[in-house]
Structure 1
Amino acid sequence: MRTALALASLLLVSGCGATVAQDTSSANTPVTVTNCGQQVTFDKVPSKVVTNDTGITELMFALGLKDRMAGYVVDGADTADRRTSPWKADFDSAKHLSDKISKEVVQGANADFVFAGWNYGFSESSGFTPDALKQLGIATYQLTEACRNGVGKQRGIMPALDALYTDLRNLGKIFRVEAKAEELISGYQQQIDNAARLMTGKPQPKVFLYDSGQDQPFTSGRNAAPQDIISKAGGDNIFGDLNDSWTTVNWETVVQRNPDVILIVDYADGDFNTPEQKQAFLEGFAPLQNSPAIKNKRFYALPYAALVESPRNPASIEAFAKFLTSV
């Protein structure tokens, strides 16, 4: 059975636990960045940052900005994503504020800056929005992967890796660590270029990203991180034509598109979300039985934090490319 967990591969990320020198001479000079299509000005370097979700928090850690954080919000103080994080030491020493973000949590932390995203913390239904925080005097930065694109609540305004690089550069500017941001980006680009060579001249397998859902599958369109993880590794996302990030589709279309490989999101929470449970469901799902992925048991699993925008994305591409060379 060719099912694999790529946790070990994802530990090979540089910059773990780094402390980065900041340009304090301009700490109180306003800077302006473009975030989700809007010009946003920050009057000074934030010093009490609250982050929401694992990947977002890891962006701060990768830039060496743990000392600028009041704490982070992640569902569960001891998750598999945290335990396998290249920045585990930073998670362990930073403050876990809550399982769920709210105005009360960020006010209790005396936050002056919140880094989250739509469906990654920000939500109209909960009342936790950038506008609501602005009224409390708290600045916000929105994860670019989750930016709304102007079509209802669809998300994604640029390719996934461009979103990662955009956020690193913007955060570098806001926190005066631009040199560190460029160093990370250069390293990631080289890692991705090296991974791409592994599949040079080989057929491009069709890949179905399976997050969850039995009645209807939840998957990735072209604007979420799996799009670039799949394509840069040498595969073809069967839902890469959808102008959305994470979204629900139907099984009929999955069957029609006949995947060669199934990439599973590993939440590691035991609630019908382990890769083994998801694989067992897919192998027993009658309409998919004739697909090459099911016939040949071509399953691969990556952690949740590696499949949303995060500094784990380049290592994920490398790990998945190595798997695809055996397909």
Structure 2
Amino acid sequence: MRLTPIALVLALGLGLTGCGAHVADDAADDDARGGRPSGHYPVTVENCGRKVTYDKAPRRVVTNDVGITEIMFALGLEDRMAGFVMPDDKGDLDAVPWKDSYGKVPWLSKKEITKELALDADADLVFAGWNYGFNEATGVTPAALKKLGIGSYVLTESCRNGQGSARGVMPPLEALYADLATLGKIFDVEDRAAALVRDFKQQVADARAKAPKGDHRPTVFLYDDGRDRPFTSGRYAGPHDIITKAGGDHVMKDLEDSWTTVGWETVVERDPEVIVINDYGDTSAARKRDFLLSYGPLRNVSAVKHRRIYVMDYADLVESPRNPAAIVALAAYLRGIETSRGR
């Protein structure tokens, strides 16, 4: 099996996640199985502005999507999971440090999560996010699940900020660190969570030390998909922190949202030197690249003229434990551009 550069960084940096999936000592684990709280419980946490108290660690968690699922895997919480829901367009899952975890936990559905699925899985907690499984249109919301006796944890990147359906309440990497710390408290694995956060912060600090700085930072646009209007990242989605920490200047940093749509005229006006493609969905990265290079209004955009188009996996760009390694990889690419400009 050949690991990608990002997978290699993850495999080295996350070696501590291979310590096994037991998340508490034997006595506390027995207490949880028997329904009695250990000395750690009850514990109260805050998630997207709401306070929730846990009398014991959830034991049958259903997760939605790849980044959320891998947060659980990175914390060694496979044995607390009833399964995960995820389309099969999320890249090569054999080339990640959590390959064995994917083999242990049931893949419940390749479609969207439903209330019926959660009930059938006997879930006691659904870990999802707004537009990452939670959606009023489908009826799967924390409030609806609560009526069924099922708890919920909302991905912090997806927290709504009070401006309609706009999402984002903190910088994306801080959202990842917040979720790791909070889940560490919920599942009594705070030491493991703290070790992950320290390791991730060190990876990011090392990458930033080598990244382009000041006026030498290349301007970067994130292209998810879309022909008439591009779907992209605002300041509260993962790509913003990945781009900026890697030494890039995110051209859509003024958008007070996570994932959103803009006009091509805005992209042309801001003239990015690099376009990062989000590789997922029915349209391949190659087709997205061909479109960008052939779309007339973009012909004079620097990234198109110089064919500076960089492809990243979906799971690198949404909130996930792959984010720090993604920063390392993108920083290396941007350093090459800095060099080619003749700094």
TM bucket (normalised to shorter chain) is: over 0.9
State the match for 1:310 in structure 2. Answer: 320
Match of 2:267 among 235, 247, 254: 254
Q: How many correspondences in the alignment?
A: 318
Read off the aligned partner of 1:281 and give its amino acid letter. F
Paired with 1:18 and 1:211, the residues of 2 have a C-alpha distance of: 35
Paired with 1:72 and 1:231, the residues of 2 have a C-alpha distance of: 31
Contact map agreement 2:66 2:90 (CA 8 A) in 1 = no
Q: Does 1:12 align with 2:9?
A: yes
What is the CA distance between 1:8 and its match in structure 2? 3.3
Read off the aligned partner of 1:230 and give its amino acid letter. I
User: Highest Rg: 1 or 2?
Assistant: 2
The 5 Å alignment of 1:60-139 reads 60-76=72-88, 79-99=90-110, 100-139=112-151
Paired with 1:316 and 1:303, the residues of 2 have a C-alpha distance of: 9
Contact map agreement 1:283 1:294 (CA 8 A) in 2 = yes
Larger relative contact order (Cα-Cα within 8 Å, sequence gap ≥ 6): 1
Paired with 2:4 and 2:157, the residues of 1 have a C-alpha distance of: 23
What is the CA distance between 1:9 and its match in structure 2? 2.1
The 5 Å alignment of 1:110-189 reads 110-189=122-201
Contact map agreement 1:18 1:62 (CA 8 A) in 2 = no
Contact map agreement 1:232 1:317 (CA 8 A) in 2 = yes
What is the CA distance between 1:125 and its match in structure 2? 0.4
Read off the aligned partner of 1:125 and give its amino acid letter. A
Contact map agreement 2:220 2:251 (CA 8 A) in 1 = yes
State the match for 1:194 in structure 2. Answer: 206
| Structure 2 unaligned residues grouped into runs of 5+ | 338-343
Q: What root-mean-square deviation, in Å, do the aligned CA atoms of Structure 1 and Structure 2 show?
A: 1.6
Q: Does 1:288 align with 2:288?
A: no
* CA 1:303–1:129: 2 relative to 1, 3 Å: same
Q: Which runs of 4+ in 1 moved over 3 A?
A: 15-18, 23-27
| Structure 1 unaligned residues grouped into runs of 5+ | 1-5
* CA 1:201–1:309: 2 relative to 1, 3 Å: closer
Structure with the larger helix share: 2
Aligned to 1:239, what secondary structure does the other structure show?
coil
With the length of structure 2 as denominator, give the TM-score of the two structures: 0.89
What is the CA distance between 1:85 and its match in structure 2? 2.6
State the match for 2:63 in structure 1. Answer: 51
Paired with 1:98 and 1:307, the residues of 2 have a C-alpha distance of: 22
Contact map agreement 1:46 1:68 (CA 8 A) in 2 = yes
Give deviations 1:231-267, integer Å, cap 9, x for gaps. Answer: 0000011101000000000000000000000000011
With the length of structure 1 as denominator, give the TM-score of the two structures: 0.94
